[in-house]
Amino acid sequence: MKIKSLAAALLTTIAASASAFAVSAPASIFSNSFSGNAFTNLPVGTINIGSVSNLNGSFFAAENISGTTPFPFNLSLDKVTFSGGAIGAWTTTSDKFSFLNVAAGNYLVTATGTLDGSGKVSNLALIGASYTVTPVPEPETYAMLLVGLGLMGAVVRRRNKSDSDQA
């Protein structure tokens, strides 16, 4: 009976450890619309990171804006080419970013690029960033997992020894 309660405690420990590996749902942030055919370090928003995490994402631009009643409309926007951006002190030279072991804090997101002037209103765009924050497990999480696995090994060894003694 003790083995079952020990196994249940170990499974609870493993489940708690596994939750540290969960990936948060992607989030998006947007800048205000702006005008001009080039932009440098355009503030897009802020990313709040609660603990040491990996950060992955990309910049994007809306292609059109539409509305419904009472005033239906459809407005095409300029196509945007990103040449880079920054999240806090980290920079990227493309529309994608990936940073490992980012410390907890608030990070300003900025984008750099050009507009092609193809929209109904020239030099108008809506810029954003989509990202995922994945917490990095702390050493205590790994230690707890290893202790739990060690306990399971001890239980199995003791059980096998008990079975062989009865034979």
Q: What per-residue confidence (pLDDT) applies to 6?
A: 39
**Within its chain, how far is the Cα of 89 from the centroid?**
18
- pLDDT band for position 29 (cuts 50, 70, 90): low
Query: Taking the mean position of all CA atoms in its chain, how far away is CA 70?
Result: 37
Answer whether residue 147 shows pLDDT above 50: yes
Tens digits of per-residue pLDDT, 112-132? 998 888 888 777 788 889 999
Three-point CA angle 64, 125, 132, nearest 5°: 85
Q: What pTM does this model have?
A: 0.64
What is the pLDDT, as a whole number, of residue 14? 38
161: alpha, beta or left? (left if phi > 0; alpha if psi -120 to 50) = alpha
- Domain spans, the chain: 1-21+138-167, 22-136
Which CATH architecture fits 22-136? Sandwich (2.60)
